[in-house]
Amino acid sequence: MTKMTLGSHPFLLGFDQLERLVERTAKADAGGYPPYNIEQTAENAFRITLAVAGFGEDDLTITLEDRQLVVRGRQEDDSEGRIFLHRGIAARQFQRTFVLGDGVEVAGAAMENGLLHVDLSRAQPEKVVKTIEISKG
């Protein structure tokens, strides 16, 4: 018995990219840093919130690359000349990737109290009924 993948099921035509997106997302797991929340703020709106304490707006970049929302953080090393007795605040760079579905767009981003909020919205899909003519062969 062979295992049937999602993209090869005969009733799911054109969904082969979904399987690749799932695989790509699994590979992009960045562990637990920085921690984040994803919440639904309205019927067609979402918010991703990342805890980025210690990072300023200039230390963060948000890009959209091939349906992937990529949030990167990189701080300048300002520890020169400082002596830490304990260093528990993470100052490492990170990259967090989120795969966006069709029709999901980035509405904006804002920093508030050490939290980066990225707002997303999904356009309401049009319900189209189309009649296909059969050509005489």
Q: Is residue 20 in a domain? A: no
Q: What b/e sequence results for 99-113 when a residue is b if at least 16 CB atoms lie within 10 Å of its CB, and e otherwise?
A: ebeeebeeeebeeee
Q: Is residue 137 in a domain? A: no
Q: Is residue 45 in a domain? A: yes
Round the average pLDDT of the chain to a whole number and report it: 85
Query: What is the distance between the alpha carbons of residues 118 and 131, in angstroms, rounded to a whole number?
Result: 40
Q: Is residue 132 in a domain? A: no
Range of the domain at 64: 33-78+85-122
Name the domain count of the chain: 1
Q: Looking at the predicted structure, is the pLDDT value of residue 1 above 60?
A: no
The CATH number assigned to the domain holding 118 equals 2.60.40.790
Q: Looking at the predicted structure, is the pLDDT value of residue 103 above 70?
A: yes
Q: Looking at the predicted structure, is the pLDDT value of residue 55 above 80?
A: yes
Of residues 33 and 37, the one with the higher pLDDT is 37
Q: Is residue 28 in a domain? A: no
Q: What is the mean pLDDT of residues 60-66?
A: 94
Q: Looking at the predicted structure, is the pLDDT value of residue 118 above 90?
A: yes
Q: Is residue 115 in a domain? A: yes
